[in-house]
Amino acid sequence: MKKTAALLFLVTFTGILHSMAAPKGWGIGAGTFDGDFGAQARKDFLFGPELQYDIALQAGLYNQHKVTGRFDADFHYIINPESGFQCYPLAGIDWAVHSKYNRIGANLGAGATLDLNDETRLFIEAKYVVGDWDGFAFTAGIYF
């Protein structure tokens, strides 16, 4: 029941974001969480008067104790929104699912994107998850 409610909330939240914000693109990345490797898919939504705010929704699978699913929703404050190289601090929530266990935490970190052309960007992100499952995450990837 809790998983169904969480999935329903995520779908509703994504729908609301899509109606209020400009979609920024899909991305894929590879990274680590406390030394365990994984991959993720992500979708970003820009908003604000100068498009300086961003919400990034991320879902990933990591090789932690066999397989762990991680779902993140992070708020980015883009320091230089007009530049081809953008930096941002981030804060958000993390939800980890392993076997029958669910764990929740808070994300704090920073990241950057580099525009390659109008549709393609590289990203790099580092964050620390504080909560039921503390750890350091590092991810790099591409938006398309």
pLDDT at site 19 = 45
Range of the domain at 96: 2-143
CATH classification of the domain holding 54: 2.40.160.20
Comparison of pLDDT for 119 and 27, the residue scoring more: 27
What digits encode the pLDDT tens for the residues 17-63? 444 455 568 999 999 998 899 999 999 998 888 788 999 999 999 98
pLDDT higher than 50, residue 81:
yes
What digits encode the pLDDT tens for the residues 23-34? 568 999 999 998
What total of structural domains would you count in the chain?
Answer: 1
Beta-carbon contacts of 114 under 8 Å, excluding residues fewer than 6 positions away, are: 84, 85, 121, 122, 123
122-129 long-range contacts, CB within 8 A, separation 24+: 123/27, 123/29, 125/29, 125/31, 125/90, 127/74, 127/90, 129/33, 129/94, 129/105
